[in-house]
Amino acid sequence: MSFQRLRRRLYEAVGLGFALVPAMHACGGTAVIDGEDGSGGATSSSGSGGTTSTSSVSSSSGLDVASSTGVGGTDCVQTGSTGSGVMEVMHCLQSGQPCPQGDLAFQAINEEIWSSCCINDISCDALTDVLCGPYPTTLGPCCYQIMTEETTCATPGRPLAGAFGDLLAGTARRPGWSQGTGAASARAYWLAEARGEHASIASFLRHASELLALGAPPALVAAAFRAARDEVAHARLAFGLASTEGAPAAPAALHLEELSGRCAHDLSAFAAATVAEGCINETLALVDAMMRLERCEDPAERAALSQIVEDETRHAELAWQTVAWAVAAGGAPTARAVEGAFARQAWDHLGMAEVIAPCAEALLAG
């Protein structure tokens, strides 16, 4: 599905003519200047990059562009050239625990990357592979050479807002949630996807409950419950692709007691939250899935992504339809709340659009 077709569907979802559709503004992205050796380069993201050299440059997220010398060891994989948005970097775990290996290393590194990504909602680097490690460096005893891929800053699925950030369950190794196994190089990505889709189940159930409390039309309520069922299927697909033979991936407990307190009868607050969680995050997550599907070659992953794109398109439509209903029902106060929610995202990206992106273009042109 093309971006033009997606814009058409979303605009038609709220009953407006396609001729008026503005250009879609994505989440921005990291401006990367790749070196000829494929080892990365300068980056404009929030501290998750650096410059390739013989001595690593530390960052607040623990990510550094892999040094051309002194990185890795005899077990390191020589990856050669990287593609657009893909970087080979070094990550040093910040915890004082023993250095994890294998799947545990995937999980620990992925946790640290996602905990510090998308500062100012600009971009995220998704972990795609751990090439080698652990090994000691001046930055710490547990360093790894990894591959990351630029992605949108959207949480997979619909985020579950907690009192102090989005809620995600931990992971476990037990049967029930996963079907089959995935390619080793993509397990970290699918584990992050699975956790996001799993949290989306609860997010849609809360959304459906809020719709009921606000007296929403039955079609919106039914669509929200259907979306929750979709997310169960998405989570199972993703946990399967995150699994290894004999070690099925599954979610741990989701601590719903940490949910943010929202007034179920405040239509304006509900509409603003739907803008952030649905109109923006879900639409960007859909765009990310569409882009991944275009370049994906693995049959199992393509099948999963195709299903996710199909379902998430309906979820994005639901978000825009819900906000359109809320504005019609709530009038001017709700319209102002919706306008403010969209404006906050625009402010976050203003620096990227007006300063960073033009500078990156000038640098590359020169």
Distances (CA, A) of 198 to 112, 189, 201, 228, 285: 19, 14, 6, 9, 14
CB 308 within 8 Å of CB 301? no
The residue written with tokens 């099948």 in the block is 303
Given this model, what pLDDT does residue 88 score? Answer: 82
Q: What percent of the chain has pLDDT over 70?
A: 67
Q: What is the pLDDT of residue 19?
A: 39
Note the pLDDT of residue 150: 65
Instruction: Select from 365, 353, 366 the least CA-distant residue to 44.
Output: 353
Examine the pLDDT at 204 and tell me if it is beyond 90. yes
| Residue 281 near residue 315, CB atoms below 8 Å | no
Dihedral sign, CA of 300, 306, 207, 187?
positive
Q: What is the pLDDT of residue 206?
A: 93
Pairing of strands 124-137, 161-162: unpaired
Q: What is the pLDDT of residue 160?
A: 84
At 58 the pLDDT is 32
Residue-wise pLDDT for 293-351, tens only, equals 988 888 889 999 999 999 999 999 999 999 999 999 999 999 999 999 888 776 656 66
- Read off the pLDDT of residues 251-265 as tens digits, 9 standing for 90 and up: 888 888 777 667 668
pLDDT band of residue 182 (cuts 50, 70, 90) is: low
Fold of 154-348: Ferritin (1.20.1260)
In the chain, what are the domain boundaries? Answer: 30-153, 154-348
Q: Cα–Cα distances in Å, from 14 out to 17, 29, 248?
A: 9, 28, 41
> What is residue 55's three-state secondary structure?
coil
Greater confidence, 14 or 205?
A: 205
pTM confidence score: 0.63
Position 146 pLDDT exceeds 50: yes
Assess whether pLDDT exceeds 70 at residue 31: no
| Residue 171 Cα to chain centre, angstroms | 17
- Indicate whether 49 pLDDT > 90: no
